[in-house]
Amino acid sequence: MEENAQLYITDRGFKALVKGLLKERRVYGTVRKDGFPAFKEISGAEEIELIQTPTHLSAKEFLFPQREVLLKFDIKDNTHEAVVEARDQAIIGLHPCDIRAIGLMDMVFSYGAEDVNYLARRGRTILIGSDCVPDRYCFCKSLGNTEVDSGFDIFLHRLKAGFIVRTGSKAGADLIRKFAGPRRPPPGALKELEESGRKRENSFTATLEALPEALPGIYAGSDESPVWERIGGICYGCGSCNNVCPTCYCFDVKDEVRANLDEGERVRTWDGCTLDDFAKVSGGHDFRKTRAARLRHRFNRKFRYLSGRFDSLFCVGCGRCSRACLVRINIAEVTNELIRESYKK
């Protein structure tokens, strides 16, 4: 079976694929949790629902856990042991923006000194994508992320009955062949796929008013914009936007010593640049004291600072940060304000 070839599987074939995966590995998939779409570990194929609207939290915690032990040490014996926890797993129901975000995380954690914990987990993870429909926060279309042609093992396109399947790796092709009973698409299936794609492309309401390649320059000219003071004045500094973002990867590392003062663990946890003490260093100096400065930093990380190092914007347009923000700071709207200001200069 050729990688990226378009094949067809039935609904029963999809269930058989999930069952097959469950025999081999831990499986996370999209479900309805308290009525909202969410990723969750599943134990049966019937639990999974390929939900087309975005999940509130991304799937990053399955590759980069919110809390993980990196090292165990024994002070008395003066010994330590690295901890790398990774097992075979699959994530089902990733949308194109999620797959694109994992590709960015792969670059980050491979840059310079490789992050062995992330890469060990990533190397044992099968990524299975599925189609989405945008809600009012999604602006991935403006960043060219409505479709992906790589970065996944399997991609499923929902039809009224069954799926068109693309495979993006040998591992994905082998799984489809082994479990799902692939066949040639039936008459009309590819036309149905084309029509649903067209409908989706026309259903975006949130858009950016500039091309992606113009955004680093627009942000570079916006350091003094009054926008930062305005949104900094209403921001709670809660860090929700960092937590839900599939491309926010900052973390803190602390040594936790047990009460016996003999043993301990080195633990890393997610950190967030919008939190009050994120930029505080020894001596109490804080080089981003205000919420305005912290938000300016976060937005610049997404659209400017990292583009030189990785040749890519670091926002995939998933809209999660806007969806999660209690004071309705909307990253697409803020960016459009900066774009409009840049036109006046």
Confirm or reject binding of residue 236 to ligand SF4 (CB under 6 A): yes
CA distance 130 to 116: 28
How far, in Å, CA of 67 to CA of 252, rounded? Answer: 10
Give CA–CA dist 11/48, Å, rounded. 12
Which amino acid is residue 309, in one-letter code?
A: R
Nearer to ligand SF4, 166 or 291 (CB): 291
Q: Residues 110, 112, 116, 117: is their CA dihedral positive or negative?
A: negative
Place of tokens 């790796």: 169
* Using rule CB under 6 A, residue 7 touches ligand SF4: no
According to DSSP, the residues that pair with 69 across neighbouring strands are 267
Our CB check for ligand SF4 shows the closer of 127 and 189 to be 127
Give the single-character DSSP code of 64: S
Per CB under 6 A, 321 contacts ligand SF4 = yes
In the complex with ligand SF4, the residue whose CB is nearer, 83 or 238, is: 238
Does the footprint of ligand SF4 cover residue 111 (CB under 6 A)? no
d(CA 225, CA 337): 10
Closest to ligand SF4 by CB, 193 or 324: 324
Determine the straight-line distance between the first and last CA of the chain, rounded to whole angstroms: 55
Both structure tokens of 6? 């378009």
Which residue type is seen at 97? C
Helix/strand/coil for 59: coil
Q: Compare residues 65 and 212 and give the one whose CB is closer to ligand SF4.
A: 212
Contacts to ligand SF4 from residues 242-261, by CB under 6 A: 244-247
* Residue 235 touches ligand SF4, criterion: CB under 6 A: yes
Give the binding range for ligand SF4 (CB under 6 A) out of 2-10, 157-165, 220-228, 230-238.
230-238
Q: Minimum Å distance from CB 13 to ligand SF4?
A: 32
Residues in region 261-320 near ligand SF4 by CB under 6 A: 274, 302, 315-320
**Which residue among 9, 42, 331, 334 contacts ligand SF4 (CB under 6 A)?**
331
Distance CA 164, CA 28 (A): 21
Find the shortest distance in angstroms from Cβ 120 to ligand SF4: 25
Q: Is there binding between residue 63 and ligand SF4 (CB under 6 A)?
A: no
Per CB under 6 A, residues contacting ligand SF4 are 235-241, 244-247, 274, 302, 315-321, 324-327, 329, 331
